[in-house]
Amino acid sequence: GQQVMQIPQYQHVQEGEDFTTYCNSSTTLSNIQWYKQRPGGHPVFLIQLVKSGEVKKQKRLTFQFGEAKKNSSLHITATQTTDVGTYFCAAPKTRNTGKLIFGQGTTLQVKP
Amino acid sequence: SQTIHQWPATLVQPVGSPLSLECTVEGTSNPNLYWYRQAAGRGLQLLFYSVGIGQISSEVPQNLSASRPQDRQFILSSKKLLLSDSGFYLCAWSRLGAMGEKLFFGSGTQLSVL
């Protein structure tokens, strides 16, 4: 079945450094979503990318969807301690369904 | 506004005991409903998916079952728990019929089977 691979699994950075997590699929994705899960919490929707080559920004977060719609990335500029958590990408299992397949997640630790 | 309630927050159960986790959604009609499981330090695995009352799609063979007795109620059950059933269980909803609609998650249930 469809899989979404996400790397790295863990990332430790010094506060102020940048951070990037990558998501890859062997098949073309109709769209990709990103979620953030704070320690002890539940995943919260961040953004959805639909178009080939799309780039969206939310303050210090930049989301990209590849031209072939098979990969995506989330980049955080100048991390802060509030960025700590696990970031997941997710894509529909099949077209026209709400069933999302999640990547394994990247857990970000930020040292103050 | 829409809200999703999931309970209990934590549960410790012995092996072989039954399980019932409940999830309800308020403020929306005909939602898609989901049960996901998250093993410690791992990603989210889709367990069940429902588009309507009595309509359940099982995504992986397992020791669990799901039911949707009412439009906005989703229940996860087991007759006999296994050690491997331990994990963080998350209920979620999305808008019916919308491709790629975002998921709204409940606060989760941490299940420990001992």
pLDDT tens track for B1-58: 889 999 999 999 999 999 999 999 999 989 999 999 998 767 899 999 999 999 999 9
**Res A99: pLDDT:** 82
pLDDT, tens only, B55-113 = 999 988 788 999 999 999 999 999 999 999 999 999 999 985 555 678 999 999 999 99
Instruction: Output the DSSP codes for chain A.
Output: ---EEEE-SEEEEETT--EEEEEEESS--S-EEEEEE-TTS--EEEEEE-STT-EEEETTEEEEE-TTSSEEEEEESS--GGG-EEEEEEEESSTT--PEEEP--EEEEEE-
Find the closest chain B residue to A39 by CA distance.
B41
| Mean of pLDDT values over A85-89 | 97
Interface of B with A (CB under 8 A): 32, 34, 36, 41-46, 49, 57, 59, 90, 94-95, 98-108
**Res B37: pLDDT:** 95
**In this prediction, what percent of chain A has a pLDDT beyond 90?**
87
**Res A95: pLDDT:** 65
| Burial of B71 per CB tally in 10 Å (0-12, 13-18, 19+) | middle
Q: In the predicted model, is pLDDT for residue A110 greater than 80?
A: yes
| Burial of B43 per CB tally in 10 Å (0-12, 13-18, 19+) | buried
* Residues from chain B contacting residue A45 (CB–CB below 8 Å): 102-104
* Residues from chain B contacting residue A92 (CB–CB below 8 Å): 99-100
